[in-house]
Structure 1
Amino acid sequence: MRVIGLMSGTSVDGIDAALVDISGSTEDLQATLIAGATYPYPADLRDRILAVCGGAPLSLAELAELDDAIATQFAQAALKIQANQAPAVLIGSHGQTVFHRPPNAQLGYSLQIGRGEVIAYQTKIATVSNFRAADIAIGGQGAPLVPPIDAALLRHPIEHRCVQNIGGIGNVTYLPPLKADLPIRGWDTGAGNMLIDLAVQRFSEQTYDRDGAWAARGTPNLELVDRWLQQDFFQQPPPKSTGREHFGAAYLDACLADASGLTQADILATLTEFTAASIAQSYQRFLPQLPDRVLVCGGGSRNTYLKQRLQFLLPDSIICTTDDLGLNADFKEAIAFAVLAYWRYHEIPGNLPEVTGAPKSVLLGEIHHVV
């Protein structure tokens, strides 16, 4: 089946679109990327999304307008990615997260907008969307959802592996060897690129620190990093998830207040170290053993300095990217939502209860047929 996966993450950089040929089911899953591209949001739409994610009040009428605008952008991305290609028969759209509340004493709640029924109508392709809702409804975190795809595509006979996505938020999948009697695990590790990107945008007209070059000119304040890592989120055992609600602009303000007196380069070095150290500490604290190999993906996979710091903190692990194993690091998340749509179409449960904390496996996503 040829499926389009659509994804926009917490960094709100744009819509990642992946056209994927998929076959098999779980153990024999094959997913081949035919085409991948990122389609930036129009600047005014991105500003509106970021304002809402930052807590700006929104009327129901404004929410409806934003929902429609995002759905239209997703539909256009789907049409563009399959131009001059054999057409897809299914779309898996993650949508745009604007709010995520992990479960505590109450059910969790996660809102992804960009209506699947609009995408289906505008593209004339059946669309699966709203993937997180079913897991959350039965008490799960609704995140991360990529670990079962990682397990199907990247597990190794003898290596202990971690697949570390570094988008706006970082999340990990732990893959024990195939014959090991150990569970697959996964959780959000904390801020990925988000704080670094926000700081760069405060300090300059740039949107991110290309290759980590700016941070590499600074010196991280390790005392600050150690202090930040004492916060509750990092002590909480998995399952756990987080988002911009926690690691957003207000969090950066607190970090900058702590870092007063440091140069901009030192601040960026400290925030980059914080991301790397949050990943390494979570492995050391919550895994049965440290990984033989860490496969980095997402935007952070292009940050050379961040990967160097991760290698320093995990000296006995090989740090590489999913590119090295033939799975595109830039579009892996979009590929994953294509697979989740494929699984939903074939009525294969898509969540991993040991990762999300849900009591059982369930079908993920709502199917919107062409009308």
Structure 2
Amino acid sequence: MRVIGLISGTSVDGIDAALVEVTGQGYNLTVSLVDGLTWPYPAELQQQILALCAGEAISLEHLARVDDAVAHSFADAAQALMAQAGAAELVASHGQTVFHRPVGRPALPHQGAIQLGYTVQLGRGAAIAQRVNLPTVSDFRQADIEAGGEGAPLAPVLDLCLLSHPTEHRCVQNLGGIGNVAYLLPWDRQGNPPKVIGWDTGPANSLIDIAIHTLSEGSLTYDIDGAWAAQGNPCLPLVNQWLEHPYFTQPPPKSTGRELFGWDFFQQCQRDAQAQGLSAVDLVATLTEFTAASIAHEYRAFLPALPDRVLVGGGGSHNPVLMARLQAQLPESTVQPTDTVGLSASYKEAIAFAVLGYWQRQGFPSNLPAVTGAIGPRVLGRLSDPLLSP
């Protein structure tokens, strides 16, 4: 089946679209990337999304308009990819997360009630289905949340299927806006798979991107090739101070987003940097070091053993300074992009949701309860069929 996977991450830097050919049943899959592209948001829509992520209050009518606009941008990405690479049979869209409250965050107190997480992804699947005239699977996180899980991260199941190794202990680290990890025990992909450990490690590109956008007065959206970080000197006392955030002592399963590591956190980091007399490039270098150090801290705190190899996907895999600092923080492991083992680092998350959509059509449970904390396996995603022509 030819499936288009769509996702825009917490960096809100565009929609990643991947057309993949998927065959097989359950975990026994063959997945081949046909083509991919990154589709930019219109500038005004991107700013509206970022404002929502920062907690801006809007009317429900305005929210509905933004929701539809996101769906149409996702449909534009799918149509552009099909024009470039040929037709698809199914679309699987993660949408755009604008709010995420995992289990355990403060909610309304109801004595004796089980608190469930809460998550909001804009870009409703039904609107995408009408635009592209293809069945569309969306709302992937909801079933896991309703089973008591965090609803995130969801990509580790793809890592299990495609990146496990017969003899190596591996970590697959995503560096999107937020980082997440899957710890893979050796597996020859025969028989029942081993238990996967995974969670959100904390910030990846989110704080660096906010810093670059702020310090460049909006002329840049990310640290291209790590150029700003390469010119600065990290302030290690600030790195250690920021690592005292309570998230880094919370055991997995856990997930996070811009609600913790977004604009408010960056503003505190900026104040701390000003108090230390840091320059703009020093602040970016310090945030880059903090990102790498937080990942290494999470590994040392919560993994049973450090991995032989760390395979990195997401936009952060293209930042040579961040990759070098991650390698320096984990000298016991080999740190490489997932491209080195045949899985596109740029489109890994989009590929993952294409596979999740494929599994939804098979009725195959695709959450990993050990990763998300759900009470059991669930089929993820909700199908929207295009309306019949009158």
Q: What band does the TM-score fall into relative to the shorter chain?
A: over 0.9
The equivalent residue for 1:7 is 7
> In structure 1, what residue type is equivalent to 2:299?
Y
| The one of 128, 141, 144 aligned to 1:119 | 128
Deviation, 1:85, is: 3.6
> In structure 2, what residue type is equivalent to 1:275?
T
CA distance in 2, matches of 1:84, 1:159: 37
Whether 1:142 aligns to 2:137 is no
Q: What CA deviation, in whole Å up to 9, does each residue of 1:274-312 have, x standing for no partner? A: 000000111111111101000011010000011111111
Deviation, 1:27, is: 3.2
> In structure 2, what residue type is equivalent to 1:213?
A
The equivalent residue for 1:207 is 221
Q: What CA deviation, in whole Å up to 9, does each residue of 1:318-337 have, x standing for no partner? A: 11011001111000000000
CA distance in 1, matches of 2:59, 2:84: 40
Does structure 1 conserve the Cα–Cα contact (< 8 Å) formed by 2:93 and 2:125?
Answer: yes
224-233 vs 76-85, greater mean Cα deviation: 76-85
| The one of 259, 264, 281 aligned to 2:273 | 259
The equivalent residue for 2:357 is 341
CA distance in 2, matches of 1:335, 1:182: 22
Where does 1:60-139 land on structure 2 (aligned, <5 Å)?
60-104=60-104, 106-139=115-148
Whether 1:174 aligns to 2:186 is no
Q: Give the direction of change, closer, same or farther, for the CA distance of 1:64–1:318 in structure 2 (3 Å limit).
A: same
Does structure 1 conserve the Cα–Cα contact (< 8 Å) formed by 2:187 and 2:194?
Answer: no
Where 1:29 maps in the other structure, the secondary structure is: strand
Q: What CA deviation, in whole Å up to 9, does each residue of 1:216-263 have, x standing for no partner? A: 121111111111112110000100000011111110011111111111
Where 2:36 maps in the other structure, the secondary structure is: strand
Where 2:28 maps in the other structure, the secondary structure is: coil
Percent identical residues: 57
Whether 1:236 aligns to 2:245 is no
The equivalent residue for 1:16 is 16
What is the aligned residue count?
Answer: 371
The equivalent residue for 1:196 is 208
Whether 1:246 aligns to 2:260 is yes
Deviation, 1:84, is: 4.9
Structure 1 gap segments, 5+ residues each: none
CA distance in 1, matches of 2:3, 2:170: 27
TM-score normalized by the length of structure 1:
0.98
Whether 1:304 aligns to 2:320 is yes
Where 2:25 maps in the other structure, the secondary structure is: coil
| The one of 198, 216, 237 aligned to 2:230 | 216
204-213 vs 188-197, greater mean Cα deviation: 204-213
Where 1:117 maps in the other structure, the secondary structure is: helix
Runs of at least 4 residues of structure 1 off by over 6 A?
Answer: none
Deviation, 1:182, is: 5.8
CA distance in 2, matches of 1:208, 1:71: 24
CA distance in 2, matches of 1:185, 1:84: 37
TM-score normalized by the length of structure 2:
0.93
CA distance in 2, matches of 1:277, 1:212: 16
Where 1:55 maps in the other structure, the secondary structure is: coil
> In structure 1, what residue type is equivalent to 2:208?
I
> In structure 2, what residue type is equivalent to 1:199?
A
Does structure 2 conserve the Cα–Cα contact (< 8 Å) formed by 1:185 and 1:355?
Answer: yes
The equivalent residue for 1:37 is 37
The equivalent residue for 1:156 is 165
CA distance in 1, matches of 2:193, 2:34: 35
